[in-house]
């Protein structure tokens, strides 16, 4: 989840708050958490991955202002566009979309500049998928002559990138600069790279990598800015530009739109004003919240959440989401905002009245019965992780069938899924030489096995082992369990790599082969570093069902 740290002297006036008292509780309405409150800054974690507007100081401040004083208007009086950007055909395959606007009337100060940079980083990395679907550029507006052209160019094109002292070609930028190497993979499939130039031919930036040092460096004191967002996803590009425009407007800037002219004749004016309209029936609201919708002041509640054009009729409510949000994808989302505005802790908790009968899963009931017998037989229960290593199952224990591997393991230690529980018991034995004997161990757990087809299958197995015990010791334990459960047990000699030849057997219960029992081979014990004889058995728990 994104976390941002913002200076309090910037944030509190923006949020129209005098102090941080109550900030923690207020943030809950934005699904945000107070992560840390320091002398000069506040750190906030945002839990809603669909609300990039909140990943900026302006967005959080706006949320809190509306919560306290109601909805605001956004980008409502933009003039018609007077400048435009030409988008070239060849970008279609590379990085097709751009949205842009200009702003004036707010002088960039240090905090504002920091906030622009934070927004640029947070939104482009998370929401913009590490700049793939959206990357952001800010420029001093003066000095740019429109129309700006967004096109492709050869990797050998050169300019002086931001933060560098010399001109570099685009391919040098990708190889030699820190930012370039970080984002080079976005362009690795292309022969030509995106470039943004003004009408005088000056290079503004190399999207999505770096701005120009001469035309793309915003500093404190600038009061007229040009902002563009490029990317591979139309809505991500446009929503990002709209969020940035709303943020700058909140700081006092006047936003002017830019027309985007695509090569195929299409045109769009950006920032795009999203007007996602949501409506829900009063009946549905009543059913979901458990309180008659007629008793709720829906207009006031939705206004706290910054909805516009709220209209409540006899049977439904309709409202328009603010333009910086696009996460309302179902009427249910409107109802959630009503619930948040009411306050979860203001809704009365009650219990469902329908009577239902509880029950454990059959395999769990069976496990309990069998475990109680094993405890009576003096066995101690062991629990180990399901993920384990190929070494433990195959190399050390010599299990004949290889376990299913994880294709992207974190470490080899947890690189396979247990297919048998005997290695876990041997591991305990190997780690417990110093623990007083007898060692009678058992474990009941899920394993993942191969089937005859490609499908895998989860089974619940039971394994028992005796440290310093022989074939007879485990046979007796299995024998008494079967006896007390009224099951007919017999063993059939088989050879198995894990056990001493002539001392291993297939377990048959009521005539069906259900598991294996034997005395571990000294080679297995030696591999594990076990210094006492060990015998064990493993079977499918279901085979003990009567």
**Could you say which residues in the range 443-482 bind another protein, by CB under 8 A?**
446-448, 450, 454-458
**Using the rule CB under 8 A, is 483 a contact of another protein?**
no
Identify which of residues 146 and 234 has a Cβ nearer to another protein in the complex: 234
Identify which of residues 235 and 485 has a Cβ nearer to another protein in the complex: 235
Residue ranges in 177-236 that form contacts with another protein under rule CB under 8 A: 235
Identify which of residues 77 and 455 has a Cβ nearer to another protein in the complex: 455
Identify which of residues 48 and 86 has a Cβ nearer to another protein in the complex: 48
CA distances from 201 to 159, 169, 488 (A): 12, 16, 90
With contact defined as beta carbons under 8 Å apart, do 458 and 448 qualify? yes
- From 219, 348, 511, 546, residue interacting with another protein (rule: CB under 8 A): 348
Strand partners, 260: 85, 268
Q: Which of 189, 205, 100 minimizes the C-alpha distance to 151?
A: 205
How far apart are alpha carbons 216 and 177 in whole angstroms?
A: 17
Strand partners, 245: none
Supply the minimum distance, in Å, between the C-beta of residue 485 and another protein. Answer: 17
- From 88, 371, 398, 503, residue interacting with another protein (rule: CB under 8 A): 371
Supply the minimum distance, in Å, between the C-beta of residue 175 and another protein. Answer: 17
Strand partners, 443: 463
Residue ranges in 15-54 that form contacts with another protein under rule CB under 8 A: 28-29, 31, 47-51
CA distances from 349 to 287, 290, 344 (A): 15, 10, 10
| Other beta carbons less than 10 A from residue 367's beta carbon | 18
**Using the rule CB under 8 A, is 109 a contact of another protein?**
no
Q: Vertex 439, ends 438 and 443: CA angle to 5°?
A: 150
Identify which of residues 148 and 464 has a Cβ nearer to another protein in the complex: 464
Cβ neighbours for 225, distance < 8 A, ≥ 6 positions apart: 102, 103, 104, 108, 138, 139, 140, 141, 218, 248, 253
Identify which of residues 105 and 378 has a Cβ nearer to another protein in the complex: 378
Determine phi and psi for 426, rounding to 5 degrees: -65, -35
Continuous segment of H or E residues that includes residue 118 = helix 110-122
Supply the minimum distance, in Å, between the C-beta of residue 292 and another protein. Answer: 12
Identify which of residues 109 and 381 has a Cβ nearer to another protein in the complex: 381
Identify which of residues 451 and 512 has a Cβ nearer to another protein in the complex: 451
Q: Which residues of 132-151 are buried (b: 16+ CB within 10 A; e: fewer)?
A: bbbbbbbbbbeebebebbbb
The contact pattern for another protein, residues 515-534, with x = CB under 8 A and - = no contact, is --------------x-----
How far apart are alpha carbons 543 and 134 in whole angstroms?
A: 57
**Using the rule CB under 8 A, is 417 a contact of another protein?**
yes
Supply the minimum distance, in Å, between the C-beta of residue 385 and another protein. Answer: 5
Supply the minimum distance, in Å, between the C-beta of residue 15 and another protein. Answer: 18
**Using the rule CB under 8 A, is 267 a contact of another protein?**
no
Strand partners, 504: 518
- From 117, 300, 375, 494, residue interacting with another protein (rule: CB under 8 A): 375
Determine phi and psi for 85, rounding to 5 degrees: -120, 130
Which one of the spans 9-17, 142-150, 264-272, 436-444 is the region binding another protein (CB under 8 A)?
436-444
């Amino acid at each position: 989840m994104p976390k941002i740290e913002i200076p309090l002297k910037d944030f509190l006036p923006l949020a129209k708050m005098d102090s941080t008292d109550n900030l923690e509780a207020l943030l809950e309405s934005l699904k945000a958490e107070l992560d840390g409150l320091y002398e000069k800054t506040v750190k906030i974690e945002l839990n809603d991955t669909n609300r990039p507007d909140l990943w900026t100081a302006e967005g959080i401040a706006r949320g809190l202002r509306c919560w306290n004083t109601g909805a605001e208007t956004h980008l409502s009086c933009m003039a018609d566009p007077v400048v435009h950007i030409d988008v070239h055909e060849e970008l279609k395959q590379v990085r097709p979309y751009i949205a842009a606007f200009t702003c004036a009337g707010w002088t960039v100060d240090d905090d504002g500049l920091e906030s622009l940079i934070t927004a640029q980083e947070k939104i482009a990395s998370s929401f913009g998928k590490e700049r793939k679907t959206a990357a952001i550029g800010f420029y001093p507006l003066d000095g740019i002559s429109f129309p700006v052209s967004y096109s492709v160019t050869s990797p050998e094109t050169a300019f002086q990138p931001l933060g560098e002292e010399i001109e570099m070609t685009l391919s040098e930028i990708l190889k030699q600069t820190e930012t370039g190497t970080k984002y080079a993979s976005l362009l690795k499939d292309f022969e030509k790279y995106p470039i943004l130039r003004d009408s005088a031919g000056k290079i503004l930036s190399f999207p999505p990598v770096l701005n120009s040092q001469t035309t793309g460096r915003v500093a404190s004191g600038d009061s007229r800015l040009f902002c563009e967002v490029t990317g591979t996803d139309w809505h991500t590009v446009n929503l990002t530009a709209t969020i940035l425009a709303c943020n700058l407007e909140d700081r006092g800037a006047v936003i002017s739109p830019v027309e985007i002219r695509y090569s195929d004749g299409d045109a769009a004016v950006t920032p795009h004003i999203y007007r996602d309209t949501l409506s829900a029936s009063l009946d549905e609201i009543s059913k979901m919240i458990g309180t008659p919708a007629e008793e709720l002041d829906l207009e006031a509640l939705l206004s706290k959440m910054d909805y516009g054009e709220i209209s409540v009729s006899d049977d439904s409510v309709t409202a328009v989401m603010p333009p910086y949000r696009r996460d309302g994808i179902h009427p249910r989302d409107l109802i959630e905002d009503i619930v948040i505005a009411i306050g979860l802790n203001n809704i009365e908790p009650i219990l469902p009245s329908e009577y239902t009968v509880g029950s454990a899963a059959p395999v769990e009931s069976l496990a309990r019965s069998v475990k109680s017998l094993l405890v009576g037989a003096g066995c101690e229960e062991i629990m180990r992780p399901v993920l384990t290593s190929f070494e433990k199952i195959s190399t050390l224990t010599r299990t004949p069938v290889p376990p299913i591997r994880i294709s992207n393991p974190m470490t080899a230690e947890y690189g396979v899924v247990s297919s048998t529980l005997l290695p876990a018991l041997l591991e305990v034995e190997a780690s417990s030489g110093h623990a007083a004997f007898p060692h009678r161990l058992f474990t009941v757990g899920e394993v993942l096995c191969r089937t005859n087809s490609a499908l895998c299958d989860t089974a619940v197995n039971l394994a028992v082992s005796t440290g310093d015990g022989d074939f007879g010791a485990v046979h007796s334990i299995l024998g008494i369990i079967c006896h007390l459960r009224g099951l007919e047990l017999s063993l059939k000699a088989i050879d198995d790599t894990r056990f001493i030849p002539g001392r291993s057997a297939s377990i048959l219960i009521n005539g069906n082969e259900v598991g294996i029992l034997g005395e571990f081979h000294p080679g297995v014990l030696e591999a594990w570093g076990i210094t006492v004889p060990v015998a064990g058995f493993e079977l499918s728990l279901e085979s003990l069902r009567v």
